[in-house]
Structure formats: C-alpha cells, structure tokens
Amino acid sequence: MFSKRTLVNLLRYFIFMAVVIGIISAALFTYIPAEEVKKTIIYAARDLTTPSTDIITIYPMSSNITTFSVSNKNQVYSSEYIWTYDKQTYSYKIEIPQELYEYYSNRNHDRYDYEQYAVSDYDREIIQKLAKSFADHGRRNKHSDEQIAANVIAFTHSIPYLTDIETTGFEEYPRYPVETLIDGGDCEDLAILAVAILYELNQECILVRLENHMGIGLKDSGNYTGISYLYNETVYYYAGVTEGETAVGVIPKSIDPTLKELYYVQPMPKVSGHLVQHVSGFDEKSYRYSLRGNIENEGSGIGKNVTIRIETKLNNRSGEPIPDTLIPIGNIPEDYNADIEVSFSVPRSSGIVDIWIEGDNFDSFEVTGFHFSFGK
C-alpha cells in the first residue's frame, strides 16, 4: 500500500513527465492545422492503414505543369550557311525564334555532361527540320549513312569558329545547338551541334573529348579506318568538326590526341527531390503526416511516370503488413521544379517509413525516411 503522500508525489511525477513529453513532441513535430494545408488538386489514393480510400493532395499535377513554349511572336533570328561536300555546294537558311534562343542563352552553361546540350527538349523542332533536309537530300541522291554523316560534318565547317573567351569571356562555355547556329562556337559547340543532328537522323554517335579539343565518334559501319574508341562494347571512329578535319579516323598533328572522356548521346533526365514530413493530425487509429517539398528535373528529356513510393514497416510482429502506397506525379519536364504536397497516415504503433522517387527512365532513389513510435 502506498501512503497518501506517496500517491500525490507519483501523480505529480506523471503530470511532470506528460508536460516534458509534450514539449519534446512539439520540438520534434510541427502541427499543421487542416485549414492551412494547401489543397488545390485532390484525388483519391489508398490509405496506409485501412482498405478504404484516403484523400491525397498534390500540387501542381502534371496536367497543370507549364513548360517552355514559343509564342506566336514573329521575332526571329535568321542565318544562312553555305558549304561544300563532295564537290557540290549547299546552302541552308534557318530561322530561330528569338524566345527560343533567349531561353537557351539564359540557361546555366556550367554543366559538363556535354551530350545533354545536344538532346534538350525544346529545340527539337529546329534540329529535326535541319536533320530532315540532310535525310531528304541523301535519299534523293541515294547516299549512304556514312555520306550523310560526312555532309553533316561538312556543314559544321561552315559555321564561324569562335572561342569562348572571344564571345563570352569565359574559358569554358558549352552552347546549346540553337546558340551555335546563331552565334557560332568552338570545337565543343560544333561537336554538340553535329551529334544533335546525327541523333535526329538515328545515327548512333558519341562525343569525344581530347586533351584540348572535342570531336565526335561515328559508329563503326565496316567502312571506316583509323583512330577509334570502344564504348559499351561498340567501336566509334573519330571525326573532327572543325575546318581542316576532313577525314574520319584522323586527328591532325596540331591536336593532342590524349583521350579525356567519351559521352554517349541520349536524353538523360536527372530527377532529384527534397521532401520533409510534419505531423498534421491524428485520430484513435493513426497519425497523419504532411509530406512537402519539390521534385525537379535538371537533365535533358522528360522524367517519365514519376512516382512517390511510401514504404511503411512496422516493428511489432503482430502488426498487419502495410502495402506500399504509390502516388503518381506524372511526367516532369526538362528544366522544371514541381512543388508537391501529399498527406498519408501511419498506425498507432512503431516502425519506419521510407520514401522513394521512381520513374521509367531514371534510377529510383530514396528521398527521405523517418522512424515513428506512437502507442496505442
């Protein structure tokens, strides 16, 4: 039997501990009143704790994502190119919307995955039209793929060669194809433009970075000889894109042939995310979390079928397994940052939540995770 004084002291102790726990909980979790949770798009998804449906909020949905597009303004930059291939003279006149040029000139130019400049989404129409002119001419004259590629390389020789220092003041300033078509460029810019055209012609190619120079690699067709490189068990022959580099498989003596890196040309979305969780409410069965943050795509090409996967593991063996919840975000365009918010529940138990971002054309990655422990 406890004395009355002992019982009073125990009661005071429990009250004190409850206050301490409340203070600690407040420090660990931010409570978000329901009326403050932004709800612009609502659709149903499965609750983590019951077989019934639960409300998930996400903003913006992919259908509301706006990407760069050229308006109907008639302001364009025009350039005409004249070059010679196989003893014939060719010309091509191009018009590039000023908005498109300015979009690319205002993007960051400090990335060094050079191949991604060649396969950006928003200049595809310009490059496809240019590539089509080479394909149509080749078809009319019964040219082989090698001859069409040689004509593309001859075309790059007609573009003014200008160093980055001359035009920008930077030692290194890789350009997107539409910039090179208007401004000219150095070896890396001409190489990026060449592989952009060849990519649209369905000719497999690589960028070849040497010690102080950049060229391209043409896939072995059985008709090339000379300097070649092995990439992913495929042989590619060196081809120069600057004036004076006329033969496939030959590096002029004025160029250091030391190989630095090879870049395979294909779109490569780079999806990343930052998400944080907050307790936003609870009931007799579960605690509700609000998951807020953003998902962005800094690569080239659309991040396809981006999905958030919430994986909940209970620590107590008696708990029923909780199936993963998949929350579809949709496609995340190139050069886009999407703010998102989702809400989900965890049972009054203890366990671990791991949150992953997945998609069709990039590697899955864990974006965040946390432990929870709530008594029944």
Tell me the pLDDT tens digit for each residue of 307-323.
Answer: 999 999 988 666 678 88
145: helix, strand or coil: helix
Top mean-pLDDT range of 84-93, 229-238, 240-249, 341-350 = 229-238
What H or E segment, with its residue span, contains residue 330? strand 325-332
Tokens found for residue 79: 């350039």
DSSP annotation string for 24-41: HHHHH-----GGGS--S-
- pLDDT, residue 72, reads 60
Instruction: Check whether 35 has a pLDDT greater than 60.
Output: no
Tell me the pLDDT tens digit for each residue of 232-255.
Answer: 999 999 999 998 898 999 999 999
**Cβ 286 vs Cβ 54: under 8 Å:** no
- pLDDT, residue 15, reads 53
Q: How many CB atoms lie within 10 A of CB 345?
A: 22
Tell me the pLDDT tens digit for each residue of 124-164.
Answer: 999 999 999 999 999 999 999 999 999 999 999 999 998 88
CATH of 114-264, one of 1.20.1440.120, 3.30.56.10, 3.10.620.30, 1.10.4030.10: 3.10.620.30
pLDDT, average across residues 2-24: 50
Residues with Cβ < 8 Å from 253, sequence gap 6 or more?
Answer: none
Instruction: Check whether 204 has a pLDDT greater than 90.
Output: yes
CATH of 35-65+270-373, one of 1.10.630.10, 2.60.40.10, 3.30.1360.170, 2.60.40.1730: 2.60.40.10
Instruction: Determine the Cα angle at 283 with ends 280 and 286, to 5°.
Output: 80
**Cβ 374 vs Cβ 283: under 8 Å:** no
Q: In whole angstroms, how far apart are CA 86 and each of 151, 155, 246, 307?
A: 8, 12, 11, 51
Tokens found for residue 282: 């609870």
3-state helix, strand, coil in the chain (%, to 5): 25, 35, 40
DSSP annotation string for 236-248: EEEE--STT--ST
User: Mean pLDDT of all residues in the chain?
Assistant: 82
